Structures are given as structure tokens and as C-alpha cells.
Structure 1
Amino acid sequence: MKCDIRYKPAFAAIFVTLNPGDSITAEAGAMTSMDGKITIKTQFSGGFFPGLLKKFFGGESLFVNTFSNPTQQPLTLVLTQSTIGDIASVDLRGSTLCFQPGAYICHTSGVNLGVRWAGLKSWFSGEGLFKLQVSGNGRVFFGAYGGITKKRINSEFVVDTGHLVAYEPGIQMNIGLAGGLVGSVTSGEGFVNRLTGTGDIYLQSRSIDGLVKYVRPKLY
């Protein structure tokens, strides 16, 4: 299997070449185009109950689609995300990664999908009660609104809510005010993620919530 990310960074898409017998699993609705001989199998995302948790508490789709090549020739599949922005990939190699709602796009074989409890503070800040957790040995693709930055943290690091895309499970999140109550409200910063621990995080340069707040007054 060959996977190329094209049209980076604003309109990224994943061009997948499925060799005979290859398959790739993607979020429902991620397919842009494909060769007609590719087969599709739809199933619950990570199983029935984990799929329900991800759907109703994690902001993910209830189903995923597995695209397979049953022929004896290479076939092409194009996958993308619904938002405008960049797409990145990680080779897990036995590691685990947690995604914010809506970031996951697809994964190759050997990757397991699960859910991770995020806590009530995460829910109150609009980040969801559960996070999608991927683990195993394989390649996972995820997207963001805007550009994607990978950063290694070793102590406390503050991220505005809506800008954290993915993080390693060793990172602890603590949702709180950016400063004092009055200062947080008047500065417009509100809630922030105070991350602690050691590991990699992935940030997006724009926020969907910020876009909504900007556009809403102009529509009325």
C-alpha cells in the first residue's frame, strides 16, 4: 500500500494506492473518490458499545468503512476530511495516540480503535467526555483546521481550547481559566488546556469555534 498526502497544507487529501489484498479503514464520509472495483464494508467504529460512546460523547461517527482491493491490480482511493486544513500521519509502532473529536480520518491494518475517558472538565470546555484512542502497529491519518504543528513537551504547557488535535496518553489535561475570572473573561481567552507530562502533542493553527464566533454575528 502507498499513501501520499497531497494539496498540503490548506486542502490536504490522502491518495491511497491499494495493492491486491490491501485494505484501509476510514471515518464515515471520508471517501472523495475511488476506483469502481474497490469494495466497501461498513461496521461499528471499534465495536457496538465503543462506537456508541464515540458517537454520542466523543463527537465521532458511529460507523467506519473498510475499503479493500479484491482484484489483481493496483486501485486508487482518495480520502479527506470535512474541514479545510492539513493532514498528518503517524506510524504507531506499538505506541498509542489520543485524538480530539473529529480529528481521526483513517488507519491501516494493525491499528486498534478505542475510547479513553477525558473527564467532566473536558466536557464542560466543549472537548467531549471521551477521546478516540488508537494503538497497535500501523499508520493512522488525522486532520486539522489550519496547519498542524508537532511539539514535544516536558513540563506544563498551555493550549487554548480548540487547538489541541492529538496527544500521547502520558499527557495529562487540566481544563481551567486562562487567568483570574475577570481577566479570563475580559481578555477573551476563557478556558485553556493546561497540559502536563512528557510526550508529543499536535496542534492546529486555527479553531473551528473561533471561526463560528467570527461568522455568527455577520449572519444576523
Structure 2
Amino acid sequence: MHYDIRYKPAFAAIFITLSPGESITAEAGAMTSMDGRLTMKTRFSGGFLPGLLKKFFGGESLFVNTFMNQTQQPLTLVLTQSTIGDIACEELRGRELCFEPGAYIAHAGQTHLGVKWAGFKSWFAREGLFKLQVKGTGLVFFGAYGGITKHRVNGEFVVDTGHLVAYEPTIKMNLGLAGGLVGSITSGEGVINRLTGNGYIYLQSRSVDGLVKYLTPKFR
């Protein structure tokens, strides 16, 4: 499989060439165009029960689409995301990644799509009770609102809520105030994610919640 992420960083899209016999699984609605000879099958995301958990408690789609090349010629497929921003690809090689709601786009290879309990701390941060988890050996594509930064955490790291895109399961999330009660309110920072552990995280440069807060007063 060959891929090329074009129109970075603001309007990124994934241009994929599937060789005969190859396939890729993508979030429902991610396809923008494809060769008419590709075969598409729709199924529950990770299975029936995991799909329901991701839909109602994780903010993800209930279904995923698998695109297969059953011909003898290379065929093309274009995938994208609903938000304006960058797209990244990681080769797992036995690693695991957990994704915030809406970040996952597609995966290929010997990878497994499932759910991971995120805890009530994640729910209080309005990021869902469950996180989408991808593990195995293969490629995973994910997107962000704005640019994407990969950062290695070794100890403790503070992230404003709404800016975390993906993280390795060795990273633990703890909610807290940016400062004291008064300082957190007057500074505008409020609740933050205090991440601890050793592993990689992926951050987005913009926050959808921040955009909503900015636009809401203008529609009153």
C-alpha cells in the first residue's frame, strides 16, 4: 500500500493506492472519492458491543468501512476528516495508541480496533468514558484540528483539555485546576490534564471547544 498525505497542514487528505489484495479500514464518512472497482464493506466498529460503547460513551461512529482491492490492478482511494487540520500516520510495530473522540481516521495491516476504559476523569473532561484503541502491527491514520505535535512524556506534563489527540496507554490522565480555584477561573485556563508516565502523546494546536466558546456569543 502506498499513501501520500497532501494539502498539509490545514486541509490534509490521504491519497492511497491499494495494490491487488490489499485493504484498509476507515471511519464511516472518511471517504471523499475512490476508484469504482474498489469493494466496500460496512461493519460494526470493533464488533457489536465495542461499537455501541464507542458510539454512546466515546463519541465515535458506530460503523467502519473496509475498502478492498479485489482486482489485478492498483486502485486509488482518498480519505479525509471532518475538521480543518493536519493528518498524521504512525506505524505501530506492536505498539498501542488510544485516540480522543473524532481523531481516528483509518488503519491498515495486522491491527485491531477496540475500546479502552478511560475512566470518569476523562468523562468529566468531556472526552468520553471509553477511548478508541488501535494495536498490532500496521499503519494508523489520525487527524487533528490544527497542527499535530508529537511529544515524549517522561514524568509529568500538563495539557489543556481539548488539545490531546492520541497517547500511548502508558500515559495516565489526571484532571486538575491550572492553579488555585480563583486563579484557574480568572486565568481562563480552568481544568487541565496532568499527564504522568513514560510514552508519546500527540497534541493538536487548536481546540474545537475553544472555537465553540468563541463563536457562541456571536450567535446570540
Q: Check the 8 A contact 2:95/2:136 in 1, yes or no.
A: yes
Q: Check the 8 A contact 2:121/2:173 in 1, yes or no.
A: no
The correspondence of residues 1-220 of structure 1 with structure 2, limited to 5 A, is 1-220=1-220
AA matched with 1:25: T
Q: Check the 8 A contact 2:151/2:201 in 1, yes or no.
A: yes
Q: Equivalent residue of 2:55, what SS?
A: helix
Q: How far apart, CA to CA, are the structure 2 residues paired with 1:107 and 1:189?
A: 34
Q: Tell me by how many angstroms 1:176 deviates.
A: 1.3
Q: Could you tell me the TM-score, scaled by structure 2's length?
A: 0.99
Q: Equivalent residue of 2:155, what SS?
A: coil
User: Mind listing any 5+ residue stretches in structure 1 that lack a counterpart?
Assistant: none
**Segments of 4+ moved more than 6 angstroms:** none
Q: Deviations over 1:105-163 (max 9, x none)?
A: 00002110111111111101111111111100000000000000000010110000000
AA matched with 1:219: F
**What count of residue pairs does the alignment treat as equivalent?**
220
Considering fraction of residues, name the structure with more strand: 2
CA root-mean-square deviation:
0.6
Q: How far apart, CA to CA, are the structure 2 residues paired with 1:139 and 1:88?
A: 10
Aligned identity (percent) is 79
